[in-house]
Chains A and B, each alone.
Chain A
Amino acid sequence: GSSTGSGAGQAGAATAGGIKKGLTVYFIPKDTQNPYEVLADQGGQKALAEVGGKVVVSSGTQDTATAQIPSIQAAIQAHAAAIVIAANDPSALCPSLNQASRAGIEIVSFDSDINCGGSPNHLFINQANTQQIGTSEVDLLAKQINSTGQIAILSAAASATNQNAWIGYMKQELAKYPNMKLVTTVYGNDDPATSLTVLQGLLSAYPDLKGIISPTTVGISTAAQYFDTHKDVAAKIVLTGLGLPSQMKSYVLDGTVKSFELWNPSNLGYLAGYAAASLASGSAGMQTGAAFKAGSLGSYQVAAPSGTTGPSVVLGPPTVFDASNISQFNF
C-alpha cells in the first residue's frame, strides 16, 4: 500500500511535535564508506540536531550483518533511545534487534528493511514504495526502447534484499510488455571491477541486447562509464536504473544516459531521524495512520502493513533525473 501523506507540504492529520530533547539515536548504515549511506546519515544528523538530540553513526567497513551486530550491542549498552538501521541481511540482525527492542529501544529500519516476522515490531522508512520502484524502472526503460527487445538486469550482490525485492516487481511489471524479454540478471556485488566484468560478459553473450536496468548506484555508474567510452555500445543499448545524480551527471549531460531515478538519500535519513525521535518520544506510534511531523519535509503517516513489509512510511515517489533537471541536485 502507498501512503496518502507522501511528499512534503501535504499535511495530513498531524500531531504537534512534542519530541523529547537530548535523545541519542544510533544510525547503523550498511557500512561507513558507502557514499549513499553517508548522505543518509547526514540527513539523520540534521534531523536530530533540529530536535536537540544527537546521532551516533556506527557500523563496519563492509556490508555484512556480522559487522553491524557490535554496533547494535553498543547502542543497547549505551541505552540509546532508538536505532535506525539499514540492514545488510534481512534476518541475521533480528536476534540482536529483538534484544535492543526488549531493552526499550525503538527500532527503525531504512533503505533496506529487516524481515523478522513482526518481532521486533519496527517502522520501515521506505525510500519509495517498493513496487513503484520496480515498475517505474521498467516503464522508464520501455519508453526509451519502445517496449521491444531483450533486456538484462545488472544488480548488486545476489543476496541483496532491496534489489531482489525490486527485481521481483520488475518481473511482474514486464508481463505488461510482451515484446520485452528479460534475458538474464547478473550480479556485480557493488564492486566496480566485478560489475565491469559481468557487464562485458553480458554484452558479448547477448549481442542483440536493447536495454539494461541497474538498480544499484555502483552498477549503473560502472555501466555508464563503459557506455560513455564505447559509443557504439551506447548507441545500441539503453541504460537506466538507480543512481546518484552527482555520479551520473556527466553521463546524462553528454547523452550517454537518458534518464534514471533515485530519491534524495539525505531526505530519507532526515525522515528516518524524525520518525525515530517521534517514536522514542511517544509522540507517534506504529499503528496505521499514525502521523508525525518530519521537519522541513512536512508530516507523514504510517502506511498499513502489506506483504512482508510491516508498518512503513514512504518518503515519496522517486525523482526521475534527466538532462533537464540533473544539474539542480547536489547529492
Chain B
Amino acid sequence: MATRARRPHDDVNTDARRARWRSAARWEVGLVVVLIGVLVFGAAESPTFVDSSTFFYLGINVGYLAIMALPMTLIVMTGEIDLSVASILGLSGSVLGLLWHHGWSIVPAVVVALLVGALGGALNGILVAKAGLPSIAVTIGTLTLFRGLAEILLGSLTVPATGDRQFPAALTNIGVAPIPGTQLSYTTVIFLVLAVVCGVVLHATPLGRAMHAIGLQPEAAQFSGIRVRRIKFWLYVVSGVVCAFAGILLTLQNSSVSYGAGTGLELNVVAIVLFGGVSIFGGRGTVVGVVLSVAIFGALQMALTQLNVQPEIQNVITGALLLISVVVPNGGEAIGRLRERIKRK
C-alpha cells in the first residue's frame, strides 16, 4: 500500500531538493566556514582564547559528549534515535563507582561497567530492532529506567566517598594533564580515533552502505539481503558500550561519580549530530560533519565562557545555531516557493 516509511522525502522533488542542498559537500563547507568564524571571533574577542590550554580544556569539556555523538550518528543514519545515551553514561559511571566503593580493583570494575553498557544497549536493541517498537519512545523509557537504576545503585552516595581510596591517579590524570608533549586531552584523541573508524565504516564499507539503505528505505534494504534488524540491534549495543566508555572517561576525568552524572545531555548529543548535517529521517549525513559540529560547539562554549557571557545567552546561541543549520539549506527553496505563490496570485 502507499504508506511511506515515516519519511516525507521519497517524494522525488523533495529528494531533488535535499540531494541538492543537503549534499555533503555544501554542508561540510558551510560548517568549516562557521568553525573558522567561531575561531576568529574567539581569538579576536577573548585574550585567553589563543592560550595553548584552551585546546586541552576544550577536549575535557566536550570529549565525552563528542564520543557519544558517534554511535548516535550511526543510529540516526539508520532512521532511529537513542535518547538513553546520557543515562547509560550515568549508569556505567555509577556501576564503576559502586564497585570501586566496594573495594574492587579498577580493571574488573571498568570491564563490568562496559558490560552494563552493552546490556543496556542490547535492551534498546531488542525493543527497537527485534520487537520493532518506535526507538524514540523506547529510548525515552530506557532513559528513565537506566537513570533510575543508577540512582538505586548509588543513591545519595558520591564515590569516592569520605574514607574511600581515590581512583588511580594514573587514570584520573586524563582529567588534568594533556598527553605529554601535546595539548591534546586523552578524550580528544580517543574521539578522533573513534571518529575515523566510524567514518570509514559508514562511508566506505558495505556495512555503511547498508546503513544508508536502511535509513532511506528499510523494506528495500531487507529485500536486498541486508539484515536490517541485526544491524540495528548491534548498533544499539555498540552505542551502549561506547556511551559506557564515555561514562568511565567522565568518571576518571572528574575522579568521582554520582548517579546524576550527565543528566540531560542526550539532547545536546542529538543537537550536535543534527547540526553536523545528519538527516533526522536517516540515510543522509557524514561523520566529518559531526566532527566539525563538535568542534564548533566546543570552541563556541570556550569563547563564550572566557568572555563570561551569561550561560542563558549561550543556550540561545546553541539553539539559534541549530535552527540556522536547518533553515539555511531550506531557506532558498522556501523563498522560491513563496515567489511561485505570488506569481500565481
Contact = CB atoms under 8 A, between A and B. Distances in A.
Contacts of A115: 162
A59 B51 CA distance: 21
B311 A32 contact: yes
A62 B268 CA distance: 14
Interface in A54-75: 56-62, 64-67, 69-71, 73-74
Given A70-B61, A159-B260, A95 B156 contact: no
A157 to B, nearest CB: 7
Interface in B241-300: 250, 253-264
A69 B61 CA distance: 8
Contacts of B262: 66
Interface residues of A, number: 39
B310 interface: yes
Contacts of B329: none
A330 to B, nearest CB: 25
Nearest to B258: A159
Interface in A72-98: 73-74, 76-78, 89-96, 98
A281 interface: no
Nearest to A33: B312
B259 A158 contact: yes
A95 B253 contact: yes
A74 B306 contact: yes
A61 B319 CA distance: 15
A184 interface: no
Contacts of A325: none
B156 A91 contact: no
A132 interface: no
Interface string A154-184: 0001111100100000000000000000000
Contacts of B310: 32
Nearest to A187: B156
B205 interface: no
A192 interface: no
Of A57, A70, A90, A161, chain B has the most CB atoms within 10 Å of the CB of A70
B160 interface: yes
Interface stretch (B27-35, B52-60, B100-108): B52-60
A62 B155 CA distance: 20
A220 B219 CA distance: 56
Interface size class of B (residues with CB under 8 A): 35 or more
A64 B261 CA distance: 8
Contacts of B53: 73, 76-77
B158 interface: yes
Interface string B166-196: 1000001001100000000000000000000
B325 interface: no
Nearest to B312: A61
Given A71-B305, A158-B151, A64 B60 contact: no
Of B158, B166, B250, B310, chain A has the most CB atoms within 10 Å of the CB of B158
Nearest to A185: B156
Interface in B115-161: 151, 154-160
A59 B166 contact: no
Contacts of A15: none
Contacts of B256: 89-92, 94
B239 interface: no
B155 A158 contact: yes
A77 B54 contact: yes
A88 B75 CA distance: 33
B158 A89 contact: yes
A98 B311 contact: no
A92 B175 CA distance: 10
A56 B260 CA distance: 28
Contacts of A76: 53
A78 B305 CA distance: 11
A77 B253 CA distance: 19
Contact of A94 (B155, B255, B308, B312): B255
Given A32-B312, A158-B151, A74 B305 contact: yes
Contacts of B315: 61
Contacts of B263: 64
Contacts of A77: 48, 51, 53-54, 57, 306
Given A95-B253, A95-B254, A62 B264 contact: yes
Q: What are the 8 closest A-B residue pairs judged by CB atoms, nearest first?
A: A91-B256, A77-B48, A92-B254, A159-B258, A95-B175, A70-B305, A73-B57, A158-B156
30 contacts: A32-B312, A59-B311, A61-B311, A61-B312, A66-B261, A69-B60, A69-B61, A71-B305, A73-B53, A73-B61, A77-B57, A89-B254, A89-B256, A91-B159, A91-B160, A91-B254, A92-B254, A92-B258, A93-B254, A94-B254, A94-B256, A95-B254, A95-B255, A96-B175, A98-B176, A115-B162, A157-B260, A158-B155, A164-B156, A308-B162
Given A56-B308, A91-B254, 10 more contacts: A32-B311, A60-B311, A66-B262, A67-B311, A70-B305, A73-B305, A74-B308, A77-B48, A92-B258, A159-B156
Interface of B: 48, 51, 53-54, 57, 60-61, 151, 154-160, 162, 166, 172, 175-176, 250, 253-264, 301-302, 305-306, 308, 310-312, 315
